[in-house]
Amino acid sequence: MHTLIIGGGAAGMAAAIAAARAGQTVTVLERGRRPLKKLGVTGNGRGNLLNAGAPDYPGGADFAAQVLAAMPYERLAAFWEDLGVPLRLEEEGRVYPASFLASSAVDALLLAARRLNVEIIVNARAAELVRLPGGGFEARGTVCRYLPDVSKKNGKARPGALAEETPARWRGDRVIVAAGGAAAPAHGTDGGAYGLLTAFGHALTPPRPALCALLADPEPLRALAGQRVRAALRLLDARGACLAESRGEALFAPDGVSGIAAMQLARWWKPGSALRMDLREAVLGLSAAEGGGPEALTETERLLRLRAQRRDGCPLSELLTGAASPALNDALLRAAGLERHSREPLRQLLSARPGALAQLARAIADFPVSVTGTRGFDAAQVTAGGAATGGFDPRTLQSRLCPGLYAAGEVLDVDGACGGFNLMFAVASGLVAGGAK
């Protein structure tokens, strides 16, 4: 049995190792100049390979759960340890190579593949996949040849230019499409490979960027750029209904809001969405356990009133000094509609406007950011959407429409939360597809 794998990412290489261990001969086609380029940059170069906590898949949760039932955390951890990658458990269930180097995972996968005689053909792009009348599949595409890399003065090398692109064909008794999604095109994934599956009748859930920063009207945020806050975020639809919530670190950027808490919301964004940030933890030290709702707002107002009593002679602009940066203070006063009153002494202001502190409490608890979109596929770490999972058997990853055709990894309509869930699904589905008979 010869297995042809399209895509030399985490899913494809895991599939290759599993298929070769099952006694199959294996060829991996990788369009890039080397396999596993994306894996090498994951987790800021540290490679968050797994998550030991409860599965968290905002997209394709049921399918992911079934795949992970076939290939659970313990077996995935054992897979990495067997490859020679000791693992280290960090906060929130995140699991990394003990070296804290994603490149350790890359090296170990490539060594295992080499020892199992997996053939890896780089610079080879599959553009079309056909089923052969006599059985098996043929991938048709091109192989690129590049000029040698050019050394630069700083000691680094500039990749050599494309010299020629020639047509090529590769055959397999079965084929595993593990060509990734549409996110991070710099790593070879531009959505071009979905056609390999849709050609066999597989439905495509429209791909959208996931795990990327939210863009926002830059003017009100400019002064806040670079500031990190712990916050609870809500993304609302045009009618004010909550689309999704997240909690954690948010980072104000010149063009929007980044940080994990904001990135988790990107997959839910749609035109007309609005972002609300609950900044009570960052500004007043109220813990997440305080929760939301009217009582929490009353508590926020009470804390502001206490501060106001202690700062009796101060102007409103100094009420939050020590709690919020000057830029955030200004932004909160603006959001509360109190900007014009910032120079007024607190006592005078509060007797003329008894509701002022309630307005400020609301701005802190429900800080509005007018989001205009996401940073898009170029900046996204993951794709939401992809080949509809209903077309595949989660126990084997085999197509329900075309026997012998398999899919694994991000090409499928599964996306996980930040924290190792995406590589975990990629490797789990790759191992299941590769090991399937």
Ligand X SMILES: Cc1cc2nc3c(=O)[nH]c(=O)nc-3n(C[C@H](O)[C@H](O)[C@H](O)COP(=O)(O)OP(=O)(O)OC[C@H]3O[C@@H](n4cnc5c(N)ncnc54)[C@H](O)[C@@H]3O)c2cc1C
CB of 61 to ligand X, least distance (A): 16
Alpha carbon separation from 389 to 19, 198, 242 (Å, rounded): 22, 12, 26
Angle of helix 356-365 versus helix 293-310 axis, rounded to 10:
120
- Give CA–CA dist 11/15, Å, rounded: 6
Q: Is 9 in the site for ligand X (CB under 6 A)?
A: yes
Determine how many CB atoms are found less than 10 A away from the CB of residue 93.
17
Site for ligand X in 405-424 (CB under 6 A): 409-410, 420-423
Judged by beta carbon, residue 205 or residue 422, the one nearer ligand X is 422
- Give CA–CA dist 432/90, Å, rounded: 26
The H-or-E segment that residue 103 falls in is: helix 102-115
Site for ligand X in 151-180 (CB under 6 A): 178-180
CB of 29 to ligand X, least distance (A): 5
Alpha carbon separation from 244 to 19, 416, 418 (Å, rounded): 39, 14, 15
Q: Where does this chain touch ligand X (CB under 6 A) — which range of 3-11, 68-76, 129-137, 310-318?
A: 3-11
Q: Is 101 in the site for ligand X (CB under 6 A)?
A: no
Torsion of CA 224, 225, 229, 234, to 10 degrees: 90
Judged by beta carbon, residue 79 or residue 367, the one nearer ligand X is 79
Residue 385 dihedral angles phi and psi, to the nearest 5°: 95, 180
29: helix, strand or coil: strand
- Max Cα-Cα span within the chain: 89
The only residue of 4, 11, 95, 414 in contact with ligand X, by rule CB under 6 A: 11
Going by C-alpha positions, the residue among 144, 212, 202 that lies closest to residue 182 is: 212
Q: Where does this chain touch ligand X (CB under 6 A) — which range of 24-32, 256-264, 275-283, 397-405?
A: 24-32
Site for ligand X in 32-51 (CB under 6 A): 32, 37-39, 41-43, 48
CB of 84 to ligand X, least distance (A): 20
**Using an 8 Å Cβ cutoff, are 247 and 261 in contact?**
yes
Q: Is 97 in the site for ligand X (CB under 6 A)?
A: no
Judged by beta carbon, residue 273 or residue 430, the one nearer ligand X is 430
Q: Give me 73's structure tokens.
A: 């955390």
Q: Integer distance in angstroms from the first to the last C-alpha of the chain?
A: 9
The H-or-E segment that residue 195 falls in is: helix 194-198
Q: Where does this chain touch ligand X (CB under 6 A) — which range of 189-197, 199-207, 217-225, 394-402?
A: 189-197
Site string for ligand X, 219-258 (x = CB under 6 A): ----------------------------------------
Q: Is 126 in the site for ligand X (CB under 6 A)?
A: yes
Site string for ligand X, 348-387 (x = CB under 6 A): ---------------------------------xx-----
The only residue of 16, 55, 67, 125 in contact with ligand X, by rule CB under 6 A: 125
Judged by beta carbon, residue 43 or residue 59, the one nearer ligand X is 43
Q: How many residues does the chain have?
A: 437
CB of 233 to ligand X, least distance (A): 20
Site for ligand X, rule CB under 6 A: 6-12, 29-32, 37-39, 41-43, 48, 125-126, 178-180, 184, 187-189, 192-193, 381-382, 409-410, 420-423, 426
